[in-house]
Amino acid sequence: MDLTSYVQQVSREDFGKEFRHQAAWNKRLKTTGGRFFPKDRHLDFNPKIYEHFGLETFRKIVRHELCHYHLYDEQKGYRHRDKDFKDLLKQVDGLRYAPSHTPVRKSLIYQCKKCKTNYYRQRRIDTKKYRCGKCRGILERIKEK
């Protein structure tokens, strides 16, 4: 699929306006679906979003970036916090945030033997070294989420 022509098609169909710059894949993007560059007005997109979630979700991300693009052209509020951006994004049914495609990290649960307070951690802790912050009781690992 030619990305620039696809973005031009989405722009015409969903916004009724022309996209006159370049769109490119950027494999280095990790947590975002795409980026808009006001300086030269090109768009970058994350190919992993397209691969993991399909064309329907990717089209919503293209709409998001095109909201930035068209609002910048019209000299309106094109940033995420601006009302113009939020209104246009809702109008064209674009995604506000990119869906997460990273695996969820396991969560460890420790519990104080004395006061039964739970502590949730991403990394294992040394129960011989650390104690409960409330009562100084001994911690024990009860389960992984």
Q: Does the annotation flag 52 for ligand binding?
A: no
**pLDDT (tens digit, 9 = 90+) per residue, 39-83?**
999 999 999 999 999 999 999 999 999 999 999 999 999 999 999
- 112 phi, psi to nearest 5 deg: -75, 135
Residue in the structure block whose two tokens are 């022509």: 5
Residues 73 and 107: beta-carbon distance below 8 Å: no
Q: Are 6 and 50 in contact (CB under 8 A)?
A: no
Is there a binding annotation on residue 64?
yes
65 flagged as catalytic: yes
Question: CA 28: distance to chain centroid?
Answer: 14
pLDDT digits (tens, 9 = 90+) for 69-127: 999 999 999 999 999 999 999 999 999 998 887 666 778 999 999 999 999 998 899 99
Domains located in the chain, CATH noted: 3-92 (3.30.2010.10), 108-142 (no CATH)
Note the helical H segments in the chain.
Answer: 3-10, 47-73, 83-92
Q: Find the catalytic residue in 13, 65, 74, 144.
A: 65
